[in-house]
A and B are shown apart, each in its own frame.
Chain A
Amino acid sequence: GDSVTQMEGPVTLSEEAFLTINCTYTATGYPSLFWYVQYPGEGLQLLLKATKADDKGSNKGFEATYRKETTSFHLEKGSVQVSDSAVYFCALSGGGANSKLTFGKGITLSVRP
């Protein structure tokens, strides 16, 4: 079945540092890929998505590129801020009859001033 693997956390960075969070997936067919973010005390929010190979999703300075050849969707940001502290989830939707989301385990990012 479909699965998503995220790098182990937590991750602690200093403000303005470069961020990479690795995500790889296993799926049949051509899934859509997503990054969701959960800020402290808030619900899950879509951060960005990509629906086909080589698409780049971007939002709030974050980027991720759908790499079919490496089955990856790594999240990057050039300069993190304290306000980026949150839990980040990589997810895929297989596009089947229900288009349910399959999530990775999530990774907690803490950014120090």
Chain B
Amino acid sequence: GAGVSQSPSNKVTEKGKDVELRCDPISGHTALYWYRQSLGQGLEFLIYFQGNSAPDKSGLPSDRFSAERTGGSVSTLTIQRTQQEDSAVYLCASRREIAGTDTQYFGPGTRLTVL
């Protein structure tokens, strides 16, 4: 079946602009994660959605970052007033949520470059 998909694959923006990154999880997966992969910080957790529960936003680095998940499926990560330090690869992952040990499946990522 189809894996996790993300769009766009690459995004170049100017400092101060807003960007939206999209994630389509694997069908039937109820848990969805966003991570960020950057040279300085490695792979970091950003936010977690589980079904209709309130998301766990504990990894978001600032209030310029927000995310939503509509209809329990597609998710959008929004970064407002982008800064150069936001340049990174943003990864989305989904999991079935039968148990906490289930595998997280990752999308190919969106490479964000802030000029």
Contact = CB atoms under 8 A, between A and B. Distances in A.
Interface string A73-107: 00000000000000001010101111111111110
B59 interface: yes
Given A100-B33, A100-B59, A102-B45, A49 B103 contact: yes
B85 interface: no
B50 interface: yes
A105 B93 CA distance: 18
Q: How large is the interface on A (under 10, 10 to 19, 20 to 34, 35 or more residues)?
A: 20 to 34
A17 interface: no
Interface stretch (A8-16, A19-27, A39-47): A39-47
B56 A97 contact: yes
Nearest to B4: A43
A108 interface: no
A51 interface: yes
Contact of A101 (B35, B50, B107, B109): B35
Interface of B: 31, 33, 35, 42-45, 48, 50, 56, 59, 91, 93, 95, 100-101, 103-109
Given A95-B100, A101-B93, 17 more contacts: A32-B100, A43-B91, A43-B106, A43-B109, A45-B106, A46-B103, A49-B101, A49-B103, A89-B43, A93-B101, A95-B101, A96-B100, A98-B48, A100-B33, A100-B45, A101-B45, A103-B43
